[in-house]
Amino acid sequence: MVRVTVLGSGDAYGSGGRLHSAYLVESPGATFLLDCGPTVLQGMKRAGRDPGVVDFVLVSHLHGDHFGGLPFLFMEYHYEKPRTRPFAVYGPADTERRAHAAYAALYEKTAAEPVRYPIRWGTLAAGQTHAIGAVQVTAFAVPHVSDLLSLGFRIDVAGKSILYSGDSAWTEEFVVRSRGVDLFLCECSMYETHLDIHVSYPEIAARAVALGCRRLVLSHLGSEPLRHLGELSLECARDGMTLDL
């Protein structure tokens, strides 16, 4: 079985008091995080999980609500539960430099100390499928902001498939890519306001019947969709929710 636990279903602004983007994927072959927002340790510990179980992290893009938890994971592995086994972070080009810069800004002295466990940094190229142990990760560019590359992921693990939008404007590519996947985790930051960097609820609601996924769950929920939560027909994530595939 593959279990996805929504650690954080909120947007960058912590709308509704929800935690930042992070999803824990537990499978027979690997345990990993899809994005790693600043509140990742709170999310893991609320869910009763030891952050040490994470084998690797997939970062969709270099916005703080998606990778700002890496310094806190490093602190956990340095002091709270010293780590010895390997760890890896995969993301767009520049992920290593940006994560180091964030760590150094937040914990200057510790960030300069030697890391006591092997850490591997890998770049996920858009349009390519990467084999990470037993996990196949297909990264693709999604339309978000113009100043950086944002990735969506199709993940194949233990016979199950997950499509993850990352942060993205609505794109018809999601219709094509969602065909046959077990779970489509799609961002939904807006409701009334149309932006060309995020999905608004009416956009995905209009396309929902065209999606061929077995289960669609909206997340990265902003204040607008949260104000309408009681009237939304599409399934919305909440912090701590588990999705068994």
* For Zn ion, the closer CB: 41 or 142: 142
Provide the minimum distance between the beta carbon of 187 and Zn ion in the complex, in angstroms, as a whole number: 7
- Chain centroid to Cα 221, Å, comes to 13
Distance (Å, whole) CA 78 – CA 74? 6
Q: Is the dihedral of CA 9, 82, 63, 134 positive or negative?
A: negative
Q: Residues 205-211: contacts with CB within 8 Å, 24+ apart?
A: 205/233, 205/234, 207/170, 207/172, 207/174, 207/175, 208/234, 210/175, 211/174, 211/175, 211/178, 211/184
For residue 225, report the phi and psi dihedrals to the nearest 5 degrees.
-60, -30
Site residues (CB under 5 A) for Zn ion, limited to 3-32 = 12
Distance (Å, whole) CA 115 – CA 118? 8
- Of 124-132, 167-175, 205-213, 222-230: span binding Zn ion (CB under 5 A): 167-175
* For Zn ion, the closer CB: 5 or 60: 60
| Number of residues forming the site for Zn ion (CB under 5 A) | 4
Provide the minimum distance between the beta carbon of 232 and Zn ion in the complex, in angstroms, as a whole number: 19
Tokens standing for residue 28 = 């027979």
* For Zn ion, the closer CB: 204 or 245: 204
Among the listed residues 167, 182, 224, 239, the single contact to Zn ion using CB under 5 A: 167
* For Zn ion, the closer CB: 12 or 237: 12
Among the listed residues 35, 65, 182, 239, the single contact to Zn ion using CB under 5 A: 65
- Of 48-56, 163-171, 209-217, 237-245: span binding Zn ion (CB under 5 A): 163-171
63 forms part of the interface with Zn ion (CB under 5 A): yes
Tokens standing for residue 57 = 């992290």
- Of 49-57, 65-73, 154-162, 206-214: span binding Zn ion (CB under 5 A): 65-73
Whether residue 62 contacts residue 148, with contact meaning beta carbons closer than 8 Å, is answered with: yes
Order of strands, sheet of 31-36, starting from the edge strand that comes earlier in the sequence: 119-123, 87-91, 56-58, 31-36, 22-26, 3-8, 242-244
* For Zn ion, the closer CB: 146 or 233: 146
Distance (Å, whole) CA 241 – CA 117? 31
Provide the minimum distance between the beta carbon of 109 and Zn ion in the complex, in angstroms, as a whole number: 30
* For Zn ion, the closer CB: 12 or 211: 12
* For Zn ion, the closer CB: 167 or 224: 167
Whether residue 92 contacts residue 123, with contact meaning beta carbons closer than 8 Å, is answered with: yes
Provide the minimum distance between the beta carbon of 42 and Zn ion in the complex, in angstroms, as a whole number: 17
Q: What residue ranges bind Zn ion (CB under 5 A)? A: 12, 63, 65, 167
